[in-house]
Amino acid sequence: MGGHYDVPMKTTAKYLVVATVGAILSSIILHTHSEGATKTRNQPSKTIEIDEELKLPLEGKTIVLDPGHGGKDVGSTGSQGTYEKDVTLLTALNISSKLVEQGANVVMTRADDTFISLEDRTELAQIEDADLFLSIHFDAFECSDVHGMTTYYNKSQDQDLAQSIHDELFKLDTEIKDRGVMFGDYHVIRENTQPAILLELGYISNANEEKRMQSESFQEQISTNIVNGVINGLG
Ligand SMILES: [Zn+2]
Three-state DSSP at 1 gives coil
- Amino acid at site 29: I
Expressed in angstroms and rounded, the spacing between residue 190 Cα and the centre of ligand 1 is 15
Expressed in angstroms and rounded, the spacing between residue 227 Cα and the centre of ligand 1 is 20
As a whole number, mean pLDDT of residues 79-104 equals: 97
Phi, psi of 221 (to 5 degrees): -70, -45
Expressed in angstroms and rounded, the spacing between residue 90 Cα and the centre of ligand 1 is 14
pTM of the model: 0.77
Q: Which long-range contacts (CB under 8 A, 24 or more apart) does 155-162 make?
A: 155/189, 155/196, 157/195, 158/189, 158/195, 158/196, 158/197, 160/233, 161/132, 161/195, 161/197, 161/233, 161/234, 162/197
pLDDT band for 54, please (50, 70, 90 cuts).
Answer: confident
Expressed in angstroms and rounded, the spacing between residue 69 Cα and the centre of ligand 1 is 6
Top-confidence residue, 61 or 142:
61
* CA 179 – CA 212 distance, rounded (Å): 17
Determine how many CB atoms are found less than 10 A away from the CB of residue 6.
10
Expressed in angstroms and rounded, the spacing between residue 31 Cα and the centre of ligand 1 is 58
What is the per-residue burial (b if ≥16 Cβ within 10 Å, else e) of 88-99? bbbbbbbbbebb
What are the residue boundaries of the structural domains of the chain, listed by start? Answer: 3-54, 62-234
Expressed in angstroms and rounded, the spacing between residue 87 Cα and the centre of ligand 1 is 10
Expressed in angstroms and rounded, the spacing between residue 67 Cα and the centre of ligand 1 is 9
Expressed in angstroms and rounded, the spacing between residue 187 Cα and the centre of ligand 1 is 12
As a whole number, mean pLDDT of residues 161-186 equals: 89
DSSP per position, 45-102: -HHHHHHHHH--TTTT-EEEEEES-BTTB---B-TT--BHHHHHHHHHHHHHHHHHHT
Expressed in angstroms and rounded, the spacing between residue 84 Cα and the centre of ligand 1 is 7
Top-confidence residue, 172 or 57:
57
Residues making up the chain, counted from first to last: 235
Expressed in angstroms and rounded, the spacing between residue 68 Cα and the centre of ligand 1 is 5
Q: Residues near 110 by Cβ (< 8 Å), separated by ≥ 6?
A: 67, 70, 89, 116
* CA 91 – CA 222 distance, rounded (Å): 8
Expressed in angstroms and rounded, the spacing between residue 173 Cα and the centre of ligand 1 is 25
pLDDT of residue 11: 40
Question: For domain 62-234, which architecture applies?
Answer: 3-Layer(aba) Sandwich (3.40)
What is the per-residue pLDDT across 112-150, written as a single tens digit (0 to 9) for each? 999 999 999 999 999 999 999 999 999 999 999 999 999
